[in-house]
């Protein structure tokens, strides 16, 4: 009864009683608020009888705009007796749910993917790997995967090995080196023998991945594999993010659409004249960890026998190792050979050989001897070009002068290499063009006489 009497006293009487400390409970200052005080204020602010029957529902007209002024830490702090906000901390904690952007929520600009799977193909490297770098930057955890596709092995319709023992050995060494480089950065490589669409689906489900990252390739079978992966992942609601990284010039930088690409090298060379080469992407010093969910085993790297190949076929006559079997696969070996080649070009820029190339390029040891690593993606064309620019800077001015129609009569190893890389780009782009064409009514690709001269 005393409590009710106090609640209806005049302001003067209330002020007098507060002065004399006769009321032990402080009164809450009046505030303009759309919520019931009996609902929002904690029990220690008001007498118990005023909060015995709180409403079941609370209507907050400006809830979203109000929440934008709060941080998660402030919403969980203890309630204070007097505060400026019209909404206390406790109701936010008990009645309203603050849902910060979770890593698996892709709608937020700063959100990270929970887990990403990187499908390695012909990009067995850490350096200048946009696919791997993007997955690492956009995800909390990354799972690198390589598949030995059984369809790439065995006999062809002509009776020949689809993948010979030399190439298979080189590939196995390259995959092994990639695993070592990933492990050195806190990650690992999952290796499986199986069709990529089946292996990747199994791995994605196991770790709960949000996306699959991959580099696009050019041949008909490789494009079909990409389409199959996209189809399978679409059914699972998993995004597929693709990148381009196998040529000197980027596909998106070409001054024409792929379906409009010239069908001869001379026309292609003329159209890309003066086109800038993108900068290389620095290798990751440290990678995100592997997904904790799923507990996926890395697996063993297969042998030639596991791939259905005869190990003795890699031996030459009289049981001796064949000359081309001495090539060691992997990114580590590729970068070392590239550095050695750059030093040779700088030391012997022109000894009178074809196109000004030095004597280590032509003759018995013709070419730069780096093609196998380019084919497997252990080395990127952009890295090759960039390294030569750094190590053979004395040759760049002559190559640029020649390219711009200067009067220089001598060519350089760098300029010769540009011609070779342009030829490689031409064949890869034209192959991709026909692999993705819906109508096979294009003229066949041709090469002009003297196009590389």
Q: Which residues are annotated as a binding site for FAD?
A: 367-371, 420-427
Q: Token pair for residue 265?
A: 């090298």
HSE value, Cβ hemisphere, 13 Å, CA-based, for 421: 25
409 burial type by CB count under 10 A (0-12 exposed, 13-18 middle, 19+ buried):
exposed
Residue 303 neighbours by CB under 8 Å, 6+ apart: 172, 311
Name the binding residues. 367-371, 420-427
Closest CA to 200 of 179, 222, 228, 172: 228
Q: What angle do CA 298, 293, 226 make, to 5 degrees?
A: 65
Closest CA to 387 of 250, 284, 251, 277: 277
Report in angstroms the alpha-carbon separations of 125 from 191, 246, 321, 379, 415.
15, 12, 27, 7, 25
Task: Give the C-alpha separation, 325 to 166, whole Å.
Answer: 6
Q: Token pair for residue 314?
A: 């890699």
Closest CA to 144 of 186, 106, 86: 186
- Strand intervals (E) in 23-136: 116-120
Task: Give the C-alpha separation, 192 to 201, whole Å.
Answer: 12
Concatenated DSSP letters for 349-402? S-SS-GGG--TTTSSTT-S-S-HHHHHHTSS-HHHHHHHHHHHTHHHHHHHHHH
């Amino acid at each position: 009864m005393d409590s009710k009497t106090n609640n209806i006293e005049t302001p003067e009487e209330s002020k007098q009683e507060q002065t004399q400390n006769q009321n032990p409970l402080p009164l809450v200052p009046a505030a303009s608020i759309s919520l019931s005080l009996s609902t929002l204020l904690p029990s220690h602010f008001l007498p118990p009888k005023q909060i015995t029957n709180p409403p079941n529902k609370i209507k907050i007209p400006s809830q979203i705009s109000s929440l934008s002024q709060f941080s998660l830490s402030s919403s969980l702090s203890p309630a204070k007796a007097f505060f400026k906000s019209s909404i206390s901390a406790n109701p936010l904690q008990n009645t309203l749910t603050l849902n910060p952007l979770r890593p698996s929520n892709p709608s937020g600009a700063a959100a990270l993917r929970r887990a990403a799977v990187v499908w390695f193909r012909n990009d067995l490297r850490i350096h200048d790997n946009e696919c791997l770098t993007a997955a690492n930057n956009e995800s909390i955890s990354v799972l690198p995967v390589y598949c030995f596709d059984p369809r790439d092995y065995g006999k062809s319709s002509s009776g020949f090995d689809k993948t010979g023992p030399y190439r298979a050995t080189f590939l196995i060494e390259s995959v092994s080196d990639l695993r070592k480089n990933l492990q050195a950065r806190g990650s690992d490589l999952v290796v499986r023998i199986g069709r990529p669409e089946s292996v990747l689906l199994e791995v994605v489900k196991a770790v709960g991945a949000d996306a699959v990252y991959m580099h696009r390739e050019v041949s008909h079978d490789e494009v079909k594999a990409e389409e199959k992966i996209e189809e399978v992942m679409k059914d699972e609601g998993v995004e597929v993010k693709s990148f381009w990284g196998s040529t000197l010039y980027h596909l998106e930088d070409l001054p024409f659409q792929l379906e409009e690409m010239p069908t001869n090298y001379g026309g292609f060379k003329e159209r890309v004249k003066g086109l800038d080469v993108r900068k290389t992407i620095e290798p990751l010093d440290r990678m995100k960890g592997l997904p904790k969910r799923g507990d996926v085993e890395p697996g063993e790297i297969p042998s030639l026998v596991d791939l259905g190949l005869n190990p003795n076929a890699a031996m030459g006559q009289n049981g001796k190792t064949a000359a081309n079997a001495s090539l060691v696969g992997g990114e580590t070996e590729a970068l070392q050979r590239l550095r050695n080649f750059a030093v040779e070009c700088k030391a012997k820029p022109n000894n009178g050989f074809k196109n000004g190339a030095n004597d280590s390029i032509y003759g018995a040891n013709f070419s730069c001897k780096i093609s196998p690593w380019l084919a497997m993606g252990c080395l990127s064309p952009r890295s090759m070009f960039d390294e030569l620019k750094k190590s053979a800077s004395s040759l760049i001015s002559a190559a640029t002068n020649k390219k711009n129609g200067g009067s220089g009569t001598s060519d350089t190893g760098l300029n010769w290499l540009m011609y070779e890389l342009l030829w490689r780009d031409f064949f890869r782009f034209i192959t991709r063009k026909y692999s993705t064409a819906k109508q096979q009514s294009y003229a066949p690709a041709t090469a002009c006489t003297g196009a590389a001269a």
